[in-house]
Amino acid sequence: MSGILNSSIGRKFAMALSAFFLMFFLLQHFSINIISVFSPETFNDVSHFMGTFPLVQYVLQPILILGVVFHFVMGFVLEIKNNKARQISYAKNNGAANSSWMSRNMIWSGLAILAFVGLHFYDFWFPEINTKFIVGDMSGLVDPNNADSGFRYYEELQHKFMDLWRVVLYVIAFVFLALHLLHGFNSAFQSVGANNKYTKGLKGFSKIYAIGIPVGFIFIALFHYFNH
């Protein structure tokens, strides 16, 4: 593994694989969150299942966290190593003419997304971990002593989106996510050698994904802000 990561091609390939993994998670996360718009009860049921199912909690969740850390660390490593090559290239060519704004600013959109991940953890993940593993309440109920009190997941989601400043931060973060994905999706496919007769179709799908998923998350945040 260390030998693969020591080569430029190996690092890009590993970066692409982690990107695919995170994009799959993002789609799964969106699929659950959008349920909150249509059915609070179903959203509560699905959230409670995901929050208590051992495979998710003790296997997939640690893998996800490692994937996030690996992706961002590898992104910074690639940026540092490629920066020297860019300096030489820019001396010979106009860098802005040979690359898109998004490709030249992936590190900044990545930092904005990383800051958002921190906020999202603070809003949802840390309180959930505290409730389940420190307080010891795995019930998922609003009142753990009342089985009829209902699940708290939808209530917590709406509560977080009552503040306009938080909604604005979420919207800005998802705009940066869209910009990051517009370049990152195609770059990941190129890194794994997916330049073939399906390239045009993949580019079309990547644009739909890169714009559609962030817009969907923005819709969810605005929906709960205006309907709390």
The 10s digit of each residue's pLDDT in 80-136 is: 877 766 655 554 555 555 566 677 778 888 889 999 999 999 999 999 999 999 999
pTM of the complete model beyond 0.75: yes
What pLDDT, on a 0 to 100 scale, did the predictor assign at position 160?
93
E strand spans, the chain: none
Q: Which CATH architecture has domain 4-83+100-226?
A: Up-down Bundle (1.20)
What confidence score (pLDDT) does residue 99 get?
Answer: 63
pLDDT of amino acid 84: 67
* Low-confidence residues of the chain: pLDDT under 50: 91
